[in-house]
Amino acid sequence: MDRSAIAMSLIVASGLIAAAITGQDARAAEEKEAYVSPGADKTTLISEPLPGVEAQVVTIDHYTLPPGWIGGKHYHTGPVYVYVLEGSFAIDEQGKERRTLKAGELYKEPLGAPMQARNLNASEPLKIVVFQVTPEGEPQMVKAD
């Protein structure tokens, strides 16, 4: 086998390895997302590098959360803002009393502080828009114990 064939084989092998690793990372992220948002209907409106800010990704997601929904306890490493479109958004932050926001209100999640969100309504879904900035390569949400 000549040198160019060996080089091409190494490039193809590297690509296959990278694709496999990326696929595993994506599955792990999906599993973590499923933990944080069981039963949620999520639509990503945008997810791309934040213009003018190195190594940061901006994501805007629309969620419809079913009646009685309880998210997993988690925290974020970047800023997160939740705008309530419909329903009541209940938030349990570690060490604080439960807060409930209604349609038209905005919640600024604390950086690095564990929290848990809920739809306490037993008959109506909750609709929110989540604006988030995450350091590139980090998960959007980190499971908290």
**Residue 117: its pLDDT value, please?**
95
Q: What is the pLDDT of residues 116-133, one digit of tens each?
A: 999 999 999 999 999 999
Q: How far apart are CA 14 and CA 19, in angstroms?
A: 9
Does residue 30 sit within a domain?
A: no
Q: Looking at the 3D structure of the chain, how many domains does it have?
A: 1
List the CATH number of the domain containing 79. 2.60.120.10
pTM: 0.74
Does residue 121 sit within a domain?
A: yes
Q: Are 116 and 74 in contact (CB under 8 A)?
A: yes
Does residue 41 sit within a domain?
A: yes
Does residue 11 sit within a domain?
A: no
Encode the chain (145 residues) as per-residue pLDDT tens digits: 555 444 344 343 334 334 333 444 444 444 344 445 668 899 999 999 999 999 999 999 999 999 999 999 999 999 999 999 999 999 999 889 999 999 999 999 988 899 999 999 999 999 999 999 999 999 988 998 7
Q: Which domain holds residue 51?
A: 37-143
